[in-house]
Amino acid sequence: MKKFLVLALLACGVMVALHFQQQSAIRNGVMAANVSHTAKKLVDCTNCTGQSKKCINNVCETGSIYYTSSQVLAGTPVRYRCFYHYEWSDGSISPTYYVIQEFQCRD
């Protein structure tokens, strides 16, 4: 009986401590979920694929596209070879790609 009482008092003390910790976290603007001691699930970047995509800090980002130059190709209809690359929030830059299309390249 004494063991049960001691365990019950310990469990009660832990619950009270967690309650005060949670209330303090809420008052300080901290997410209450952090108090529950559950691991945060990181974003899975395994599906972060394609020229414009890059996983940065476990977030799949779509880069901003920048057209860098163009060439007019001979023939009818007139076509354009447009060169471009992507840039992401971490300052990285993709390789240069190109596309051939029947309208002028964007700036």
- What kind and span of H or E run contains 56? strand 53-56
Q: For residue 69, what are the CA distances in angstroms to 50, 73, 92, 99?
A: 22, 13, 19, 11
What is residue 44's predicted lDDT score, i.e. its pLDDT? Answer: 73
pLDDT tens for the chain, 107 residues long, are: 445 433 343 344 444 344 445 454 444 444 434 444 444 445 678 889 999 999 999 999 999 999 999 999 999 899 999 999 999 999 999 999 999 999 988 86
For residue 64, the cross-strand partners are: 87
What is residue 37's predicted lDDT score, i.e. its pLDDT? Answer: 43
Asked if residue 46 lies in contact with residue 68, where contact means CB atoms within 8 angstroms, the answer is no
Asked if residue 76 lies in contact with residue 64, where contact means CB atoms within 8 angstroms, the answer is no
